Amino acid sequence: MTFKVAQRRSSAARKATVRTAAALAAGLALVMGAAAPGQAAATPAGGAAPAKAGCDTPDRAGAASAAPAWAAAHQPAPVPALTGTAAQSLAYGMPGQLPIGLWSESGVTLRTPVTKGTVRLDVASKGFSTDSLTVQRYEPRDRRWVDLDTKPSSESFPTRGVLTFPVTAPDASAEHPVGIALRLQDLDRPGTLTVAASLDDGRGHTYRAPARTAEATRPQVTVTGWDRGATLRRGGTGRVVTVTVKNTTDRAYPALNGSYFAYGAGGSHVLTPKDLTLSQYRSDRGWVGVPLVAGGCDPGMSAALLPTTGKRVLAPGETAVYRLKVAVARTAPRDVTRADAGFSVGNGDASFHSQQLPFTIPQGR
């Protein structure tokens, strides 16, 4: 069930997809850093990553793995929330909403002694694949979050799955319940998730907890000013697109960020950052240029958008507006007549909405 996060961060995976999807994924990888346990990590200071960020190099792999390790060592240990009643030997709890792009706290409560047992979570989803679901438990000894063991599925779009983890709690009882901290996140689309927990105590007894259902939600994103037939002329004034993000969930997004990315190729040339101009409107400064960064090993470019309110936190009910203007330079290569482009909005390195904004470039001026 664990979502293949590498598909979103690896240039190798991007090259295996169609070019449009590759451009979208490349933009995500360029402008978003590694996620830290507890919450998705904020975009590194300074905006977009270096140009070589699209390459699968040993140096990059080492840098990517170091950040979560450091964060795990410095992250305060979660306090497991107890759930259920004194009569329940096993109980499972999770919130009613699972905002996409945020970790949601979950947990198992034991009220019966277990020397060497196994907790099993049977999950069922509607609207999204269980392959896009990440579930982790906190390991106090190592002070880090670890993925649950999963039962592989042969389906291309599975909606049911099984996750397990070992448990030892010899002193658990109704008077002294033991809580196990879990967290989960849907990284794909809205829908519903049902989790049924059970416990095999290793001595022939199986305990079952009432199933829990939650709704996977995400902020509402609307786009105005752009259509799939958009045309940008070389040397023209450009075209304006407005992206409005309203937090319709019950949780604050503490590391809201937006990104723009583009890719265009002709018979002999590809678009480079000098061929496009990206500007963002700020109420206090007017139109401000946003630098585009080359994609390293992957042809293309991306840019981290400026915060819309001077801060990245988007509280429930609040709205953030990104107003962008895209223009093509007069000197852009003549053999490039179409560009695959788009934007992504997310929290830290977890995107909750991506959309294509393609455009054509006429041969003439």
Type of residue found at 126: K
Please check whether residues 273 and 350 belong to one and the same domain. yes
Residue 80 falls inside a structural domain: no
What three-state secondary structure class fits 198? strand
Please check whether residues 279 and 247 belong to one and the same domain. yes
Least confident of 52-66, 68-82, 283-297, 304-318: 52-66
pLDDT score at 259: 96
Please check whether residues 143 and 172 belong to one and the same domain. yes
The yes-or-no verdict on residue 6 having pLDDT over 70 is no
Measured on CA atoms in the order 3, 8, 14, 20, is the torsion positive or negative?
Answer: positive
Using alpha carbons, select from 111, 130, 108 the residue that is nearest to residue 119: 108
* Cα-based torsion angle of the residue sequence 292, 28, 32, 65 in order, rounded to the nearest 10 degrees: -130
Residue 83 falls inside a structural domain: no
pTM of this structure: 0.78
Name which residue leads in pLDDT, 96 or 64: 96
Please check whether residues 160 and 245 belong to one and the same domain. no
Please count the structural domains in the chain: 2
Per DSSP, 103 falls in state -
Residue 16 falls inside a structural domain: no
The yes-or-no verdict on residue 18 having pLDDT over 80 is no
For residue 364, what pLDDT band results from cuts at 50, 70 and 90?
Answer: low
Domain that holds residue 241: 22-70+219-360
The yes-or-no verdict on residue 274 having pLDDT over 60 is yes
Mean pLDDT over residues 85-98, rounded? 96
pLDDT score at 296: 66
Report the CATH number at residue 113.
2.60.40.2410
How far is the C-alpha of 42 from the C-alpha of 92, rounded, in Å? 30
Residue 137: enclosing H or E segment and its boundaries? strand 133-139
- The strand pairing partners of 259, in sequence order, are 304, 344
Average pLDDT over the chain, rounded to an integer: 82
Please check whether residues 253 and 356 belong to one and the same domain. yes
Both tokens of residue 196? 């049924």
> Residues 6 or more apart from 66 whose CB is under 8 A from it?
none
Domain boundary among 160, 184, 217: 217
- Which of 65-74, 215-224, 297-306 has the largest mean confidence? 215-224
Mean pLDDT over residues 274-303, rounded? 91
Residue 54 falls inside a structural domain: yes
Please check whether residues 212 and 223 belong to one and the same domain. no
Mean pLDDT over residues 30-34, rounded? 39
Residue 302 falls inside a structural domain: yes
Report phi then psi at 80, rounded to 5. Answer: -60, 130
Query: Could you count the other beta carbons within 10 Å of the beta carbon of residue 61?
Result: 11
Residue 12 falls inside a structural domain: no
Per DSSP, 232 falls in state -
The yes-or-no verdict on residue 287 having pLDDT over 80 is yes
Please check whether residues 195 and 227 belong to one and the same domain. no
Q: What is the pLDDT of residues 107-159, one digit of tens each?
A: 999 999 999 999 999 999 999 999 999 999 999 988 999 999 888 777 888 99
Q: What is the pLDDT of residues 146-196, one digit of tens each?
A: 999 888 777 888 999 999 999 999 999 999 999 999 999 998 899 999 999
pLDDT score at 153: 78
Mean pLDDT over residues 77-84, rounded? 89
Q: What is the pLDDT of residues 307-363, one digit of tens each?
A: 987 677 999 999 999 999 999 999 999 999 999 999 999 998 889 999 999 999 998
Residue 84 falls inside a structural domain: no
Please check whether residues 201 and 102 belong to one and the same domain. yes
Count the residues in the chain: 365
pLDDT score at 258: 95
Please check whether residues 356 and 223 belong to one and the same domain. yes
Please check whether residues 110 and 151 belong to one and the same domain. yes
97-99 vs 212-217, strand pairing mode: parallel
Report phi then psi at 295, rounded to 5. Answer: -90, 15
Burial profile 22-58: b = 16 or more Cβ within 10 angstroms, e = fewer = bbbbbbbbbbbbbbbbbbbbbbeeebbbeeebbeeee
pLDDT score at 75: 59
Domain boundary among 162, 186, 217: 217
Residue 308: enclosing H or E segment and its boundaries? none
For residue 298, what pLDDT band results from cuts at 50, 70 and 90?
Answer: low
Residue 304 falls inside a structural domain: yes
CB hemisphere CA count around 59 (13 angstroms): 5
pLDDT score at 365: 54
Query: Could you count the other beta carbons within 10 Å of the beta carbon of residue 287?
Result: 14
Using alpha carbons, select from 12, 24, 3 the residue that is nearest to residue 358: 24
Please check whether residues 265 and 184 belong to one and the same domain. no
> Residues 6 or more apart from 170 whose CB is under 8 A from it?
113, 114, 115
pLDDT score at 35: 34
Please check whether residues 234 and 211 belong to one and the same domain. no
